[in-house]
Structure 1
Amino acid sequence: IAASLITSDYKSRDIQCAIARGHSRAHIMFSKIIVYIVAIWILSLEDILVYTIGGCICGGFGKAFTLNVAGYMLRSIACEGFVLTMLYMTCVFLAFALTSKAASVSVNLLLFFLVDLGVQIMPVLFQSDVLEKILGYMPFSSVREMSQVDIDWSHAGISLAVAAAYGAVMIVATWLTFRKRDLR
């Protein structure tokens, strides 16, 4: 999605035209990020629907849908959405940095495959309490934490803060890359 939304504007020179009309680079970048986030959340509505139906099937259709169940589901969806949105700022950074749709898509797929593979294999290869503790504070652990009925808020809060910090770093890196790009 980031590759389509951002790199197509480079190719069609829409970004260059917007800059020539006097729009600030910050305005252009944040408008692209907002459109990207909205697109992610619209596409995730399918996951929410599947999650809700799956929860009803696993929990049985005969049980009452209470406010506690609704709160639990909303909390889980909001946490997962926030974490994924922050992690997907990597895709925005790569789209702004590479400006090529094919390169952006390829590098994103490769990067997320390698990161996912690394997170799965590292604990097996390097059995260490320190590594296990570090991986426990990675953003996806907060998603697992929020999917539990009873939450250790201190642990989940640290994981959410790590996700927020990562997203902020990616936005700053995107800004630094976009600000220095020659778009004449």
Structure 2
Amino acid sequence: MSSAITVRLSSGRSYCSGVLISPDLQAAEHTRTDLVLSCAHFLRGRTGPIKVGRAHVLGAVRIPRTDLAVLRLDAPAPPADLLRLSTSRAPWLAPTRTEGFGGGARHVQQRHGRVIAHLPFALGRNLRTLVTSAAILHNSPKAIKGDSGGPVIVDGEIVAVQALISDPLGYNLGIATVAQVAAHRGKIAAAVEALQRAY
């Protein structure tokens, strides 16, 4: 039986979520991979080792001008049914499923929602996290800290990864900004090739 595609990345006490992907970004049944797609903001300023389960991250490439990053592990993950990275943006009002390890969860949590808007770009409140080709979701349960980097799935394809939550004055509105993959698919493929050459 295949394992889950959503993984937990950890570095010291910090962590985020990510998703296993195939080298050609296509769907692949019961396949082992050493590639993870996640959020770039987790890598900002990080100098210590990053682990995914028992594997360590060998290297990472951040995709310019958006909150996406590809990481390569020193050992492949257990076999999983990998999903295709979508070539289309998430349709308006499409039902979504976001997976992640937010709130310190030991097992993957699912957040169901809908696409309520598209934005050419969005900025985090610290003005350091930029998301281009952003989509806005309304989720229930709400996406929370730690879900960042987890896959957003529509019709069995990865359309985005979780990037930002809206929590003015500490109140989570249930509104999440996600980094769509379709507009950056070529750069993601180039990042995979660069990591495979380097390691």
TM-score (norm 2): 0.20
Higher RCO (C-alpha 8 Å, min separation 6): 1
- Between Structure 1 and Structure 2, the one with more helix by share is 1
- Between Structure 1 and Structure 2, the one with more strand by share is 2
TM-score (norm 1): 0.21
